[in-house]
Structure 1
Amino acid sequence: MKKNVLEYLKQTTEKFPDKIAIIDSQKEITFRDFYTKALNFSTHMLEITPPPPARV
């Protein structure tokens, strides 16, 4: 069965929800927060209807 990145992230989040997933110079984000943001983003992307292609 093929899996997408979000499914792998969900599995990791279930195992390590409070571990740090991303660190930069000003902020840290846990797997739980990262998964929540990724899920919200992917849901939003699925709701967007692309415009029809332009014809020249």
Structure 2
Amino acid sequence: MGDRILQGFLNRGLIDVGGDDAKLDKLNQAAGDLAAALKNNPSKALGFSLI
């Protein structure tokens, strides 16, 4: 599911990686890390969503 959301942002041009696979990999890793952090501490989800 996370990949579909990320792909949606990329398709709409909301995130520009400039065709660089390394940037895409880093973004994907960061999204995974954030998802894991929020899974461990769901109370922080509201704060992250406001950013």
TM-score (normalizing by structure 1): 0.41
**Which of the two has greater helix per residue?**
2
**Comparing both structures, which one devotes a greater share of its residues to strand?**
1
Q: TM-score, structure 2 length as denominator?
A: 0.44
